[in-house]
Structure 1
Amino acid sequence: MNWDFADPFVIDLCVGAEDIDGLGHANNAVYVSWLERCAWRHSQYLGLDLAEYRRLDRAMAVVRHEVDYLASAYEEQQLQMATWIVESDQRLKMDRRFQLIRPADGVTLLRAKTTFVCIELSSGKPKRMPAEFVEGYGRALRQPFPLEL
C-alpha cells in the first residue's frame, strides 16, 4: 500500500448494503463512523480500552474532523483504513491522521485529520491526560510527512 506515513495501524473494512446511500455509493457519514472505528481499535491495541478510560475517569473526545472525500466506495468493496497519531501536546490535545485505501486498485478514497481533547468522564470537562495516556498514545506518535489537508 502507498500509505502517507510509515507504520500505520490498519483495519479491514467491507462496504455493506446498509452503507450505501441514494446515490449508490457509501454515504459520507459512514466514512466518519469508519474513522471512529479505526481510532477506537487503535486505542484498544495500545491498551487504552473503555475499561481503562473508566478506571482513569478520562477519555479522548473528538472536537474536530477535517475530511477530504477523494473517491467513492461501492457495495462489497474491500477497503483498508489506516491511522497515525501525528501530534500530541501530552496535556490535552492529540491529532490523528487517517487514510482510506481500496486495495484492489490502490486508490486513496479519503484522507482525514481528527483532533481529540482529553476529558474527565465524570464531568465532561477538559482535563489533563493521565500518565497512562501520555505513555500509551505517546508510543504511537509518528512524525508526518509534509502533507496538508
Structure 2
Amino acid sequence: MTDKGAIAWDYPTPFIHEVTVEPQHIDDFQHTNNVVYLTWMAKTAWEHSKALGLDFAAYARLNRGMVVRRHELEYLAPSHAGDKVLIATWITGNDGRLRLRRRFQMVKASSGATLLRGLSDFVCINIETGKATRMPDEFTKTYRLTASVDGDN
C-alpha cells in the first residue's frame, strides 16, 4: 500500500476518508459503478463536516444546512472489488454568504494512481423552508478554505 503522505495529492493537507470497493459496488463492466463514486464524494464531505464540528445536530440547532447544487466528476481510471480507495477533499470556495465549493481526488491506495477528480458546489439553506439563505457565522468560520484554487472563491 502506498503511504498516504507519498501520494501526489492535488493540494496540500487533504481530509482523507478511506473506503474499500465491495462486491455490491461493481457493475456489469466489472468495475466500480459511477454512481458509487458520487456517493463516496457525498460521504466524504459529510465526514469532513462532522470532523470540523458541524454535524446534523449543529445544522438543526442553527436551522441551516449545506445542500448540493452541482457535481462535476472526471473519471480517470477504474477501481475493482477489494481495492482500497483514498478519498481526499478540500474546501476551495466559500463566499461567506451562500456558496461553498469542495474539490475531491480519489486515489487507489495500492498504487497511488488517481481514479477520479471532482467537485461539488453547495448552497446554504434554511432547513425549515428549504430556501437558500445566508450562511450563519459558524459556517463561515468553520468551512474556511483548506486549499486555494483560482476561480473557486
TM-score grouping bracket, smaller chain normalisation:
over 0.9
1:42 matched residue in structure 2: 48
The residue matched to 1:41 in structure 2 has which SS? helix
2:147 matched residue in structure 1: 142
The residue matched to 1:29 in structure 2 has which SS? helix
Q: Whole-Å Cα distance in 1 between the matches of residues 37 and 131 of structure 2?
A: 28
2:84 matched residue in structure 1: 78
Alpha carbons 2:99, 2:121 under 8 Å: kept: yes
Question: Would the alpha carbon gap of residues 147 and 98 (structure 1) be closer, same or farther in structure 2, given more than 3 Å must change?
Answer: farther
Question: Would the alpha carbon gap of residues 147 and 78 (structure 1) be closer, same or farther in structure 2, given more than 3 Å must change?
Answer: farther
1:2 matched residue in structure 2: 8
Q: Which of 118, 121, 131 is matched with 2:127 structurally?
A: 121
Q: Whole-Å Cα distance in 2 between the matches of residues 141 and 70 of structure 1?
A: 24
Give deviations 1:106-136, integer Å, cap 9, x for gaps.
1100000110000000000001000110111
Deviation of 1:77 after TM superposition, in Å, equals 0.4
CA RMSD of aligned residues (A): 1.5
Deviation of 1:22 after TM superposition, in Å, equals 1.0
2:38 matched residue in structure 1: 32
Question: Would the alpha carbon gap of residues 68 and 147 (structure 1) be closer, same or farther in structure 2, given more than 3 Å must change?
Answer: farther
Q: Whole-Å Cα distance in 2 between the matches of residues 108 and 122 of structure 1?
A: 39
Question: Would the alpha carbon gap of residues 90 and 108 (structure 1) be closer, same or farther in structure 2, given more than 3 Å must change?
Answer: same
Counterpart AA for 2:100: M
Q: Whole-Å Cα distance in 2 between the matches of residues 101 and 60 of structure 1?
A: 26
Counterpart AA for 1:3: W
Deviation of 1:103 after TM superposition, in Å, equals 1.8
What is the TM-score when the length of structure 1 is the normalising length?
0.94
- 5 Å-filtered alignment, 1:60-71, equals 60-71=66-77
Q: Whole-Å Cα distance in 2 between the matches of residues 131 and 30 of structure 1?
A: 33
Question: Would the alpha carbon gap of residues 110 and 116 (structure 1) be closer, same or farther in structure 2, given more than 3 Å must change?
Answer: same
What is the TM-score when the length of structure 2 is the normalising length?
0.92
Counterpart AA for 1:58: R
